[in-house]
C-alpha cells in the first residue's frame, strides 16, 4: 500500500463533503509499505508508539495501562470494554494533543471513507469545509452545487448537522453526516458573521462533478481562466487552454483561483511556468530535517511571460492556490485581487498502518519566493474587493468585473 504525501487542505479539497485531499505529486518523498489488516486496534497503537522511539521526550505510558487495568477490573458493564475501540481512542487522544487540525488518526473505516473521497465524482452537497478554532467552517462551495444554490457561503460556521452538534466533532465524522445519497436532504444550522442568530439551510444532495479548468473570452481580448482544482487532469487541461488562448492574440488573462482548495503541488508550479520567465524559484518546502529543504523552479519556457495578469483569490483559495498567488505577488508578475486567502501553508502525509487504519500528519511547511510563511495568515490581495451577501444572492461577480476593468485600462 502506497504512503501518500498530500498538500492542500486535506479537509477541504473539492469540498470534504464529497471529496478531500489530493496527492502532492513527485515533489515530496514517498515510500511503499506492505501491510496486512487484522482489525486489531492495538496494532495501530503499537505501530504509532514504535514509530515514536526517537522522540525528544519519552512517552509515559503508565497512566494509560493503569486506566486500562482499572476499567477491566472495576467498570460496571464489562461487555462495553471493547479493546479495539479503546486502543483507537487512545491513539486519537495522543494525536489530538498535538493541537494540529491537519494531523488526524483514521481507523480502518475512516480510512476507507477517506480513500473513497478521492473519486472525482461523488454524491454530497459540494461544499469545502475545514476545522478552524474547533469550529466546522465553510471554505467554499462548488459553482452550481446544491450548497451554492441553497445559499451556503464561505466562512459560514456549521454548528449543527441535522440533530448533531458539531462542536469538537472530528472532521471525518462531519463528512459522514453531510454526505449521502443523491436526492436526500441534510439540514445545516449555520452562524454567519452579519446575522444576529443561527439559521437553518436545507440542502438536497446531488452528484458532484468538477471541471478542473474552464476558460472563456470576456471582451477586448481578455480571457477568464478558472482553475478549480490542482488534480490529475489540471496540467493537461491548463496546457490545452493556454495553447488555444495563445492562438487568439490575448490582451490579458484573469487567473481565477477563488474557491480552489489546492491539490498537486506540481500543478501549481506548472501554472506559474506559463507566466514566469527563466528557471525561477516559486516555492520553498521546509522539512523537520533542514537538509531536506527544497526549492521548486519554473521550467523556463513561459507561454505568456509579459501578458498582463490578474489573479483572483478569496477565503476559499488555499494551499496550492496560495502558492501560485504568493509567487505572482512576490515576483511582481501580476496583480492579486479579491479577498484574503485561507492561509494553508503546511504539507501533510498519510501513512497506512498494519490494521488498515492510517495516520495523516504534518511533515513540512511551504514558503513563498521571498520567504513568507502564510499558514494561518493567508495572502493579502494587492487590491481588496469584497463580495457582499447581496452580490452572492444576485450572482453578481464584482471581483471579476473589477479585474476586467483593470486590464482594459492598462
Tens-place pLDDT, residues 290-323: 999 999 999 999 999 999 999 999 988 999 999 9
Give tens-digit pLDDT for 348-377: 888 999 999 999 999 999 999 999 998 988
The reported pLDDT for the residue numbered 381 is 98
More confident residue, 384 or 229: 384
Question: Would you say residue 63 has pLDDT above 50?
Answer: yes
The reported pLDDT for the residue numbered 39 is 45
Q: 3-state DSSP call for residue 358?
A: strand
Would residue 344 show up in a list of annotated catalytic residues for this protein?
yes
More confident residue, 48 or 258: 258
The reported pLDDT for the residue numbered 15 is 32
The reported pLDDT for the residue numbered 209 is 77
Give tens-digit pLDDT for 219-237: 999 999 999 888 878 899 9
* Angle subtended by helix axes 108-116 and 171-178, to nearest 10: 60
- CATH architecture under which domain 213-408 falls: Alpha-Beta Complex (3.90)
Would residue 319 show up in a list of annotated catalytic residues for this protein?
yes
Mean pLDDT of the chain: 84
Catalytic residue among 130, 212, 229, 319: 319
Distance CA 284, CA 147 (A): 35
Which residues contact residue 238 at a Cβ distance below 8 angstroms, ignoring those fewer than 6 apart? 212, 213, 225, 227, 267, 270, 271, 274
The reported pLDDT for the residue numbered 45 is 63
Kindly indicate the confidence band of residue 26, based on its pLDDT and cuts at 50, 70 and 90: very low
Question: Would you say residue 20 has pLDDT above 80?
Answer: no
Distance CA 269, CA 281 (A): 9
Distance CA 282, CA 276 (A): 9
Contact by Cβ (8 Å): 342, 318? yes
Distance CA 385, CA 391 (A): 12
Catalytic residue among 212, 317, 348, 357: 348
Distance CA 400, CA 337 (A): 9
Q: Provide DSSP, 88-115.
A: HHHHHHHHHTT--TT-EEE-HHHHHHHH
Q: 3-state DSSP call for residue 367?
A: strand
Catalytic residue among 344, 357, 358, 368: 344
Between the ranges 82-91, 202-211, 328-337, where is the mean pLDDT highest? 328-337
Q: Which residues in the chain are classed under CATH 2.30.42.10?
A: 121-208
Extended strands (E) in 228-277? 252-256
Q: Which residues in the chain are classed under CATH 3.90.226.10?
A: 213-408
CATH topology of domain 121-208: Pdz3 Domain (2.30.42)
Question: Would you say residue 91 has pLDDT above 60?
Answer: yes
Q: Provide DSSP, 75-91.
A: -S-GGG--HHHHHHHHH
Distance CA 271, CA 257 (A): 11
Q: Distance between alpha carbon 308 and the CA centroid of its chain, in Å?
A: 29
Would residue 134 show up in a list of annotated catalytic residues for this protein?
no
The reported pLDDT for the residue numbered 241 is 96
pTM over 0.85: no
Question: Would you say residue 252 has pLDDT above 50?
Answer: yes
Kindly indicate the confidence band of residue 41, based on its pLDDT and cuts at 50, 70 and 90: low
Between the ranges 86-90, 96-100, 105-109, 301-305, where is the mean pLDDT highest? 301-305
Give tens-digit pLDDT for 188-197: 999 998 888 9
Kindly indicate the confidence band of residue 23, based on its pLDDT and cuts at 50, 70 and 90: very low
Kindly indicate the confidence band of residue 129, based on its pLDDT and cuts at 50, 70 and 90: confident
Find, among 363, 353, 358, 236, the residue nearest to 293 by Cα: 363
Amino acid at each position: 500500500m502506497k504512503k501518500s504525501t498530500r498538500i492542500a487542505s486535506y479537509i477541504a479539497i473539492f469540498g470534504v463533503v464529497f471529496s478531500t485531499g489530493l496527492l502532492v505529486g513527485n515533489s515530496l518523498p514517498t515510500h511503499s509499505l506492505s501491510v496486512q489488516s487484522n482489525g486489531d486496534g492495538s496494532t495501530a497503537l503499537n505501530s504509532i508508539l514504535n514509530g515514536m522511539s526517537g522522540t525528544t521526550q519519552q512517552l509515559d505510558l503508565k497512566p494509560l495501562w493503569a486506566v486500562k487495568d482499572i476499567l477491566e477490573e472495576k467498570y460496571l458493564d464489562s461487555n462495553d470494554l471493547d479493546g479495539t475501540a479503546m486502543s483507537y481512542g487512545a491513539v486519537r487522544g495522543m494525536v489530538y494533543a498535538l493541537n494540529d487540525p491537519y494531523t488526524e488518526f483514521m481507523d480502518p473505516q475512516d480510512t476507507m471513507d477517506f480513500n473513497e473521497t478521492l473519486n472525482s465524482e461523488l454524491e454530497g452537497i459540494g461544499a469545502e469545509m475545514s476545522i478552524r478554532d474547533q469550529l466546522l467552517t465553510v471554505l467554499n462551495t462548488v459553482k452550481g452545487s446544491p450548497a451554492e444554490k441553497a445559499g451556503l457561503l464561505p466562512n459560514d460556521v456549521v454548528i449543527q448537522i441535522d440533530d448533531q452538534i458539531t462542536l469538537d466533532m472530528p472532521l471525518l465524522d462531519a463528512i459522514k453526516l453531510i454526505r449521502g445519497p443523491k436526492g436526500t436532504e441534510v439540514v445545516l444550522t449555520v452562524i454567519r458573521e452579519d446575522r444576529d442568530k443561527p439559521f437553518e439551510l436545507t440542502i438536497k444532495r446531488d452528484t458532484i462533478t468538477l471541471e478542473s479548468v474552464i476558460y472563456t473570452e470576456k471582451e477586448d481580448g481578455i480571457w477568464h481562466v478558472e482553475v478549480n482544482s490542482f488534480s490529475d487532469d489540471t496540467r493537461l487541461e491548463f496546457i490545452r487552454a493556454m495553447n488555444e488562448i495563445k492562438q487568439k492574440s490575448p490582451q490579458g488573462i484573469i487567473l481565477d483561483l477563488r474557491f480552489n482548495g489546492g491539490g498537486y503541488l506540481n500543478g501549481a508550479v506548472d501554472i506559474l511556468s506559463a507566466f514566469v520567465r527563466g528557471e525561477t524559484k516559486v516555492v520553498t518546502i521546509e522539512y523537520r530535517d533542514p537538509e531536506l529543504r527544497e526549492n521548486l523552479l519554473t521550467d523556463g519556457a513561459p507561454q505568456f511571460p509579459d501578458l498582463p495578469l490578474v489573479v483572483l483569490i478569496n477565503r476559499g483559495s488555499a494551499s496550492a492556490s496560495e502558492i501560485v498567488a504568493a509567487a505572482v505577488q512576490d515576483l511582481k508578475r501580476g496583480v492579486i485581487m479579491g479577498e484574503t486567502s485561507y492561509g494553508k501553508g503546511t504539507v501533510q502525509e498519510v501513512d497506512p498502518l498494519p490494521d488498515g487504519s492510517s495516520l495523516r500528519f504534518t511533515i513540512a511547511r511551504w514558503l513563498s519566493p521571498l520567504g513568507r510563511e502564510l499558514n494561518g495568515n493567508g495572502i493579502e490581495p494587492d487590491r481588496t474587493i469584497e463580495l457582499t451577501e447581496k452580490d452572492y444572492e444576485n450572482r453578481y461577480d464584482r471581483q471579476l468585473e473589477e479585474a476586467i476593468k483593470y486590464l482594459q485600462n492598462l
